[in-house]
Structures are given as structure tokens and as C-alpha cells.
Amino acid sequence: MEEAIAKAKTLIEALGYIQRFAGKIIVIKMGGSIMDSEQTLSAMLTDVVFMSAVGMRPVVVHGGGKAISTAMEQRGLEVQFVQGRRYTDQRTLTVVEHVLCNEVNGHLVELIASRGAPAMGLHTLSSGVLFGEKLFLEADGRRIDLGSVGRVNRVNTKLIDLLCGSGTIPVIAPLARDKTGSKLNCNADNAAGEVAASLTAEKLVVVSDTHGVRRDPDDPHSVAESLGEDEIHRMIDAGVITSGMLPKVQACLRALDAGVRRAHIVDGRFGHSLLLEIFSDRGVGTLIQK
């Protein structure tokens, strides 16, 4: 009886959040090692289906870097990174597209469908919704060409809105097309930030294998529960936020600048971390807001 009462209290606590976010778009970026664990991935997508079932409109944007590197090594292709970006020649792009679209995206759509919710993969081998421009890096005053690497600067929100309105969960791979129709390999955090910004989503939730933003990079117990936009900028300038955390935080800032109310960075390795961040007062990551 006590267990049943506890469950009822949890549902009552969630009621206010369900009512508040009903009909609202929540963009969820999935990446990191959670993409490699079938159990963790399945639990995360169950949370996404739950969100859809109670009236929210989840939009999933995913990465797949480790799977791409593995596939390249199996094909005898050299994996090269420049300032954290994957150098992408034509052969690499072929592998990237196959892995992201056919393997990772297709698998996510199947897992969502197996839980009773319709989903549709959006990528360069089906209906693409991301458009971008070629990305160049700077080093020692020189411009570095990364091949077919780009950044997202436009999103087909009409198609995403149409799918969400019909109860279908969009699942977006981070591949874009430029003005000439050429394909570009994009950072998934950047893509998620642009999707959230273009849709003026209620929330952006970046789910990865990190506890959140650390105030001290060397102290795992220094994760901030909440950070303001100004404090985030100060931490970037001071070199506290660097490497893999930087694009995640930049995606959050991009979303906030476009009118997204809140952004979260959560650890997907914790059970139901996505639901805890949205449906309760006990978050498991870092909340970023203006």
C-alpha cells in the first residue's frame, strides 16, 4: 500500500508539469556513450514516448560519433579530428551518412515505434530539414578547410511542426545541405541548438554522458544545478568551459537567445533523467536560463 501511495504522489507531483508543458515542443539532443548502450538508449526513448503520450511534442536530434569512427576503422579509413571536428572527405562523408541515417537514425525510429509511438527519420536520405553552410576553422591566422563539414543555419520548421501536430516524433540526424545541394557533416549540438531556436521550443535538453556543467573542471562534485547566461559567458572566457562541453553550452545559449525559455544539460546514464528534469523539482543536471 505504501508503495502505491508513493507512486500516486509522484503522479500528482508530475500533474502540474504535464499541464504546463502540454502542447509545447521539447527538443532533446542525444549523444555521448548513451548511444552505445542499448539499455540506456531504450530507457531514454521510453521517456520520450511518455512525453509524447501526455501531450508534449518531443523532437529528437541525435549524434553518433563513436559509431562513425568504428565504421571508418572497419573500412580502413583514417579517423582525423581538427580542433574537435571530424575531417570529412568524400569517402568519410559516405560512411557518416550511412551510419547516421541508415543505422543510428533508423534504429532510434524503430525503438520509438516499438514503444507504441509513431516516429519519422529526417535526414539527407529521406526528408531533410537541416540546411547549412561550409565551416572553416582558424589557426595561426590560417583558414583550415575541413572538407564537407558545416554548421546549420536554417531549419525546415514547417515539416517538423506538421509531424509534431500529428503526434509523430521527428528524429533528426545532424546532416545538412548547402545552397548547392551538397551534403555537410554537422556537429549534433549545433544542430540541436538551431532546431530549438528555429522552433522557439519550450525547452532544449542536451542528454549526454556528463553530469552537467562543472564550476571546477577538475572537481566532479562541483556540478552547478543552475547557471545564468552571464555566468556561462564568464566561465567560457575564463577557460572553465572547454572541449566537449563547449558546443553543448553554445547550443544552449543559441536556443536561449532565440526565445527558448530554458535549456538543460543532463546525464542520460541516470535512470529516467529526462523525466526527472522535466516533471519534477529534482533535476539531475545543469539548468541554463537567462
The domain total for the chain is 1
Per-residue pLDDT of the chain (290 residues; tens, 9 = 90+): 777 776 677 777 778 888 888 899 999 999 887 888 888 899 999 999 999 999 999 999 999 888 999 999 999 998 888 877 888 999 999 999 999 999 999 999 999 999 999 999 999 999 999 999 999 888 777 888 889 999 999 999 999 999 999 999 999 999 999 999 999 999 999 999 999 999 999 999 999 888 788 888 888 888 888 898 889 999 998 888 887 888 899 999 999 999 999 999 998 887 788 888 877 665 678 889 88
The domain of 258 spans 2-289
User: In angstroms, rounded to a whole number, what is the distance separating the alpha carbons of residues 47 and 276?
Assistant: 10
Q: Which three cell numbers stand for residue 107?
A: 534504429
Q: What is the CATH number of the domain that holds 208?
A: 3.40.1160.10
- The rounded distance, in Å, linking the Cα atoms of 18 and 16 is 5
| Amino acid (one-letter) located at 120 | M
pLDDT at 281: 60
What integer pLDDT is reported at residue 8 of this predicted model? Answer: 75
Cα 168 from Cα 72, distance rounded (Å): 32
The whole-model pTM stands at 0.92
Q: Which one, of 269, 232, 226, lies nearest residue 251 by Cα? A: 232
Interatomic CA distance for residues 231 and 90, integer angstroms: 40
Q: What is the pLDDT, as a whole number, of residue 107?
A: 96
